[in-house]
Structure 1
Amino acid sequence: MTVPLLLADDYYLIAHDDVTGASRCGEGRAGLGLAGALLGELVLFGAIDIDRRNIVILDAPAPGDPLARALLEELVRNDDVTSVPDWLQYLGQRAHKQVVQRLLHAGHVRATEVRRLLQTRTVYVPTDMNVAAWSAARLANALSKDEALSVPDTVLSGLVVATELEMEVFQYASPDVGRHLRRLLAGLPPALRALLSETEAAVGDAVLRHRR
């Protein structure tokens, strides 16, 4: 049985090459994108809300996904820290490893050792190139046709923009993709719009720090 991809899984596959597994935007930006995606999963599960840049934990059943449930439990344990920017920075340092483990468990990637310049490192190569490529392809295809996207795919598209991956995903799409996507993003619930805005701001801050 195929395990469905959640938001952070989809984003990981977009942010990494569908053949080699190499990062397409640098691990810093990808980490923030994954952090935004993990928080986005909790919003989509109905476990949290976002109000004025702060996380609000809702009275709802725990998510069925183990990673989402573990993150929610961490938010509950640290309920004195509610700032979305703070959680993005914190999760951005560890989200890569966490999402990789979920993808490994589901069989969507496999660990491969690569040796370069006398150093060996581990990369995570998609087990099915078509599955890996589909995450980006379905967004570009739907937006090119001016079609509606599901809420998760609209958020996924917003994360692509927030982490400056548009050229990777939309390079062969219609020139009107941006206008259509802006309409879809404007229709998202406030919590998801706020999360995308905070993720984009965190990426911008990271880029500025890197250039100094």
Structure 2
Amino acid sequence: MPLLLADDYYLIAHDDVSGTARCGEGRAGLGLAGALLGELVLFGSIDIERRNIVILDAPSPGDALARALLEELMRNGDVTSVPDWLQYLSQKAQSQVVQRLLHAGHLRATEVRRMLQTRTVYVPTDMNVAAWAAARLANALGKNEQLSVPDIVLSGLVVATELEAEVFQHSAHEVARPLRRQLTGLPAALRALLSETEAAVGDAVLRHRR
């Protein structure tokens, strides 16, 4: 069964051995928040208009985490700002996606002891599965092939959180143009979500530098 958008992003954004975020916890959290909202757009549960979330009359998503997020959006219907939701979700998105990956058997918890401290890290159970999303994107874009809509969004999240060097490595410059072309072909709601995610990452970087 194919992984959902946030699952793929998590595996791309986190080191296979240490479990740490390759782009920093703050950026990874915002990327995961964008991915979870992106799942709801892809499920047809929400739209984005003028930087606000609009809940659509559609069947409930089949995934439990997506359902829970949709219900949370509905309970807090007075808060519709995409930037606000990105900031809020970034604080808990990692633990939520980790739990989904653990439940599906794609991650396992392991204890690491360093400097007299023990902490729990989450590492892939199958390195081939963990590496597949990044390899899929790099291979397709390197050959100038058309990506699926979820993979275009995934690529956009890679760019928004500055993970291009990790995913595309030496071919990052070569894939920039075909990726840009595919990003412009996304539905408006997904383009807006990627733009808001990138802006949130930029704001976070500026705040950190002050």
TM range (shorter): over 0.9
> What is the identity, as a one-letter code, of the residue corresponding to 2:137?
L
Question: Of 10, 28, 31, which residue of structure 2 is paired with 1:30?
Answer: 28
Aligned counterparts of 1:101 and 1:47: Cα–Cα separation in 2: 22
> What is the identity, as a one-letter code, of the residue corresponding to 1:35?
A
Question: What SS class does the counterpart of residue 176 from structure 1 fall into?
Answer: helix
Equivalent residue, structure 1, for 2:37:
39
Q: Is the 8 A contact 2:113 2:119 kept in 1?
A: yes
Equivalent residue, structure 1, for 2:69:
71
Q: What whole-Å deviation, never above 9, does each CA across 1:3-32 have from its counterpart, x for those lacking one?
A: 431000000000011333222111110000
Q: What whole-Å deviation, never above 9, does each CA across 1:50-86 have from its counterpart, x for those lacking one?
A: 0000000000000000000000000000000000000
Q: Is the 8 A contact 1:34 1:92 kept in 2?
A: yes
Equivalent residue, structure 2, for 1:129:
127
Equivalent residue, structure 2, for 1:103:
101
Equivalent residue, structure 2, for 1:163:
161
**What does residue range 1-212 of structure 1 map to in structure 2 within 5 Å?**
3-173=1-171, 175-212=173-210
5+ unaligned residues in a row in structure 2: which ranges?
A: none
* Percent of pairs with identical residues: 85
Question: What SS class does the counterpart of residue 111 from structure 2 fall into?
Answer: strand
> What is the identity, as a one-letter code, of the residue corresponding to 2:54?
V
TM-score by length of 1: 0.97
Q: Is the 8 A contact 2:31 2:157 kept in 1?
A: yes
Aligned counterparts of 1:137 and 1:32: Cα–Cα separation in 2: 22
TM-fit CA distance, 1:174:
6.3
TM-fit CA distance, 1:166:
0.5
**How many aligned positions are there?**
210
Question: What SS class does the counterpart of residue 61 from structure 1 fall into?
Answer: coil
TM-score by length of 2: 0.98
> What is the identity, as a one-letter code, of the residue corresponding to 2:95?
K
5+ unaligned residues in a row in structure 1: which ranges?
A: none
Aligned counterparts of 1:164 and 1:175: Cα–Cα separation in 2: 13
Q: Which runs of 4+ in 1 moved over 2 A?
A: 18-22, 172-176
Aligned counterparts of 1:38 and 1:187: Cα–Cα separation in 2: 21
